[in-house]
């Protein structure tokens, strides 16, 4: 294995790092490299597809283990829906392998490009979190290379399994995953769209509709004082005749359409949005989006699993609207009893400081017992902020303030999105942190697995 120097960043591209990248192609490569780094007591960060927003998969001035080339499907049982894949297999690789046989990943994030290893390390959730939990709840077995180079097989019965899942690459390298898939009759979803006049309205509708929905997600117009929005709920389609159902599972039926709303070529959307950001144009686009749904009233349509699940992958280079300084996403989770009041306060704080998120998304979640769990029985609000030269410091301060507001209300932050949190935030948000640190000390006494995020958050500090 030969390292190459690269400038790497998180998905938000708000912070860059010069790293020496080691491309592993097998579990044996991973074992050999970790043994060497362990002996030399040299730090190294783990990296999948680099789809975490912040600094979770970089190590500035240091080494990075690139896991994207561990790409084999080791076994797929089409009858039982169990699949064993290497850690560099992406969510896209997964659904392309399994959907024609009537199986869909039980949990997918909002983009299909992350690796399974990266998804396990952050224990990702989807728009069905309220119903099925995080991805870790669907994992039956993990192959993990510990920091000293020992290979372990972990199952949900092992305490260490509950620390590695969601353990943001601090306790070992996940090299293979055995996953239980979701049986689907059709490749389509029945989707309902509804305009909501305020955040309170959206909370009410979301709460009323989740018991009968498989998926739910709310878009919020953060430019508008009432936080009006559009709620989408969706259910797996069933009852179609066999030929139609089979056709909908075919891969060519899932590929993302070339035109948005059958009119605009996908590659024209980002340049248009980019122009809109230079004027108060985004405000206008949000108003148009809200009014279009409001005027049409509640309505239903069918959409492919891929189009519904990976909305952001629809628009090539959508993120270029945040050029040249990138974006920061702040996502906080708040227990349901306080979520409305706290999220209203979060949005009011943004307005008060005149830093308005260009995108705001609401989801419903459920708790779990992973050691470093970000989940709560409540709601999350994900806010995408553009980074600008003149407001960078104020934006960091604002995100820390929003973290604080959520955590004071018994809530949490999510490390997959974070670039700005402080060490005290991690300690307050994650009650399992002390036990996690004990695992870290036991398995990785020299602290070789480290990232810029782990350094910033002082993950490895000893108990005082």
Ligand X SMILES: Cc1cc2nc3c(=O)[nH]c(=O)nc-3n(C[C@H](O)[C@H](O)[C@H](O)COP(=O)(O)OP(=O)(O)OC[C@H]3O[C@@H](n4cnc5c(N)ncnc54)[C@H](O)[C@@H]3O)c2cc1C
Q: How far apart are CA 229 and CA 338, in angstroms?
A: 20
Residue 253 is inside which H or E element, if any?
helix 251-254
Classified as helix, coil or strand, 95 is helix
Least separation, in Å, of the C-beta of 368 and ligand X?
Answer: 13
The binding track of 55-84 with respect to ligand X, each residue x by CB under 6 A or -, is -xx---------x-----------------
Bridge partners of 265, per DSSP, are 259
Q: How far apart are CA 145 and CA 238, in angstroms?
A: 41
Residue 19 binds to ligand X (criterion: CB under 6 A): no
The binding track of 300-319 with respect to ligand X, each residue x by CB under 6 A or -, is ------------x-------
The residue written with tokens 């699993």 in the block is 305
Least separation, in Å, of the C-beta of 454 and ligand X?
Answer: 8
Q: Which of 26, 111, 320, 400 binds ligand X (CB under 6 A)?
A: 111
- Give the pair of three-digit tokens for residue 257: 């359409």
Q: Please check whether residue 308 is in contact with residue 356, taking contact to mean a CB–CB distance below 8 angstroms.
A: no
Q: Which of 8, 11, 379, 418 binds ligand X (CB under 6 A)?
A: 11
Residue 124 binds to ligand X (criterion: CB under 6 A): yes
Give whichever of 224 and 325 is closer to ligand X, judged by the CB atom. Answer: 325
Rounded to 5 degrees, what are φ and ψ at 379?
Answer: -125, 150
Give whichever of 245 and 315 is closer to ligand X, judged by the CB atom. Answer: 315
Determine the interface stretch with ligand X among 47-55, 289-297, 344-352, 429-437 (rule: CB under 6 A).
47-55
Give whichever of 95 and 168 is closer to ligand X, judged by the CB atom. Answer: 168
Q: Considering only residues 236-295, where is the footprint of ligand X by CB under 6 A?
A: none
Largest CA distance in the chain: 66
Smallest CA-to-CA distance from 191 within 304, 315, 312, 92 is with 304
Residue 118 binds to ligand X (criterion: CB under 6 A): yes
Q: Which of 14, 22, 48, 360 binds ligand X (CB under 6 A)?
A: 48
Residue 8 binds to ligand X (criterion: CB under 6 A): no
Residue 168 binds to ligand X (criterion: CB under 6 A): yes
Residue 174 binds to ligand X (criterion: CB under 6 A): yes
Least separation, in Å, of the C-beta of 122 and ligand X?
Answer: 4
Q: Please check whether residue 362 is in contact with residue 217, taking contact to mean a CB–CB distance below 8 angstroms.
A: yes
Torsion of CA 418, 315, 289, 271, to 10 degrees: 100
Residue 216 binds to ligand X (criterion: CB under 6 A): no
| DSSP one-letter string for 334-395 | EEHHHHHHHHHHHHHHHHHTT---SEEEEEE------TT----SEEEEEEEEE--TTTHHHH
Give whichever of 14 and 249 is closer to ligand X, judged by the CB atom. Answer: 14
Least separation, in Å, of the C-beta of 295 and ligand X?
Answer: 29
Residue 45 binds to ligand X (criterion: CB under 6 A): yes
- Give the pair of three-digit tokens for residue 390: 């003149």
Residue 338 neighbours by CB distance under 10 Å = 17
Give whichever of 99 and 119 is closer to ligand X, judged by the CB atom. Answer: 119
Residue 437 is inside which H or E element, if any?
helix 433-443
Q: Considering only residues 319-348, where is the footprint of ligand X by CB under 6 A?
A: none
Residue 125 binds to ligand X (criterion: CB under 6 A): yes
The residue written with tokens 């470093």 in the block is 372
Residue 219 binds to ligand X (criterion: CB under 6 A): no
Residue 139 binds to ligand X (criterion: CB under 6 A): no
Binding interface with ligand X (CB under 6 A) = 11, 45-52, 56-57, 67, 87, 109-111, 114-115, 117-119, 121-122, 124-126, 168-169, 173-174, 312, 416, 451
């Amino acid at each position: 294995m030969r390292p190459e120097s690269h400038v790497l960043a998180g998905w938000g591209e708000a912070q860059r790092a010069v790293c020496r990248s080691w491309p592993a192609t097998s579990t044996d490569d991973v074992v050999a490299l970790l043994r060497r780094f362990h002996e030399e007591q040299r730090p190294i960060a783990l990296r999948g597809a680099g789809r975490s927003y912040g600094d979770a998969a970089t190590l500035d001035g240091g080494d990075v283990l690139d896991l994207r080339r561990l790409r084999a499907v080791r076994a797929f049982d089409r009858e039982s829906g169990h699949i064993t894949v290497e850690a560099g297999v992406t969510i896209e690789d997964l659904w392309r392998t399994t959907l024609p046989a009537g199986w869909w990943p039980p949990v997918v994030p909002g983009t299909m490009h992350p690796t399974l290893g990266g998804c396990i390390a952050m224990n990702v959730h989807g728009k069905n979190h309220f119903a099925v939990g995080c991805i870790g709840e669907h994992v039956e077995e993990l192959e993990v290379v510990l920091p000293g180079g020992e290979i372990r097989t972990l199952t949900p019965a092992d305490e260490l399994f509950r620390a590695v899942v969601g353990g943001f690459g601090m306790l070992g390298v996940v090299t293979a995953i055995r996953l239980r898939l979701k049986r689907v009759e059709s490749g389509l979803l029945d989707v309902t769209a509804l305009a909501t006049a305020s955040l309170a309205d959206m909370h009410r509708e979301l709460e009323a509709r989740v018991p009968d929905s498989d998926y739910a997600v709310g878009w919020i117009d953060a430019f508008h004082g009432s936080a009006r929005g559009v709620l989408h709920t969706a259910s797996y389609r069933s009852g179609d005749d066999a030929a139609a159902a089979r056709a909908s599972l075919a891969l060519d039926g899932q590929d993302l359409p070339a035109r948005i709303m059958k009119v605009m070529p996908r590659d024209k959307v980002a340049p248009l949005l980019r122009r809109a950001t230079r004027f108060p144009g985004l405000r206008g686009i949000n108003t148009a989006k809200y009014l279009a749904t409001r005027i049409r009233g509640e309505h239903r349509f069918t959409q492919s699993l891929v189009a519904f699940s990976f909305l952001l992958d629809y628009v090539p280079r959508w993120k270029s609207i945040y050029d040249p300084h990138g974006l920061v996403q702040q996502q906080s989770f708040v227990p349901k009893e306080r979520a409305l009041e706290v999220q209203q306060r979060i949005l009011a704080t943004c307005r008060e400081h005149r830093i308005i998120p260009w995108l705001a998304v609401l989801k419903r979640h459920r708790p779990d017992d992973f050691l470093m769990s970000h989940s709560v029985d409540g709601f999350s609000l994900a806010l995408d902020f553009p980074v600008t030269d003149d407001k960078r410091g104020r934006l960091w301060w604002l995100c820390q303030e929003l973290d604080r507001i959520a955590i004071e209300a018994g809530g949490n932050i999510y490390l997959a999105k974070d670039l700005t949190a402080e060490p005290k935030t991690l300690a307050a948000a994650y009650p399992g942190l002390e036990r996690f640190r004990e695992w870290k000390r036991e398995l990785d006494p020299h602290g070789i697995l480290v990232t810029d995020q782990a350094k910033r958050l002082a993950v490895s500090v000893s108990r005082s």
